[in-house]
Amino acid sequence: RKEVEQDPGPFNVPEGATVAFNCTYSNSASQSFFWYRQDCRKEPKLLMSVYSSGNEDGRFTAQLNRASQYISLLIRDSKLSDSATYLCVVTTEDYKLSFGAGTTVTVRA
């Protein structure tokens, strides 16, 4: 079983729509959680950290559910520029990062 699993998508949504997707992780000792964004042929970049109480950054909302071992990302009022692959990232107590394979989001005009 992979340490971090994501629905690969693609999620194809119109501008202005809301899109949400989850990521599950297998290691209950995981301590830190992140969403990274990766544009086509570019390197991953940190989008946001995910805190236990959930957090927002503009149109992006991240949630953590430790009991069910998943994190989620919700994008409101989607923009064309939100088209990217979103990587779920989880750290364990030995500070190693485990990456999901990514969820592709395509926002159409």
Partner 1 sequence: DVKVTQSSRYLVKRTGEKVFLECVQDMDHENMFWYRQDPGLGLRLIYFSYDVKMKEKGDIPEGYSVSREKKERFSLILESASTNQTSMYLCASRATGSTDTQYFGPGTRLTVL
Check if the beta carbon of residue 101 is closer than 8 Å to that of residue 24. no
Q: Dihedrals φ, ψ of 43, to 5°? A: -80, 155
99 binds partner 1 (CB under 8 A): yes
Q: Does 55 sit near partner 1 (CB under 8 A)? A: no
Find out whether 22 and 7 touch, Cβ atoms under 8 Å.
Answer: yes
The Cα 70–Cα 62 span in angstroms is 11
**From edge to edge, which strands make up the β-sheet containing 19-25?**
4-6, 19-25, 70-75, 60-65, 55-57
Q: Does the footprint of partner 1 cover residue 87 (CB under 8 A)?
A: yes
Which residue lies nearer to partner 1 by CB, 63 or 85? 85
Q: Does 1 bind partner 1 (CB under 8 A)?
A: no
Tell me how far, at minimum, the Cβ of 77 lies from partner 1, in Å: 26
- Our finding on whether 37 is near partner 1 (CB under 8 A) is no
Is residue 95 close enough to count as binding partner 1 by CB under 8 A? yes
* Least distance between partner 1 and beta carbon 49 (Å): 7
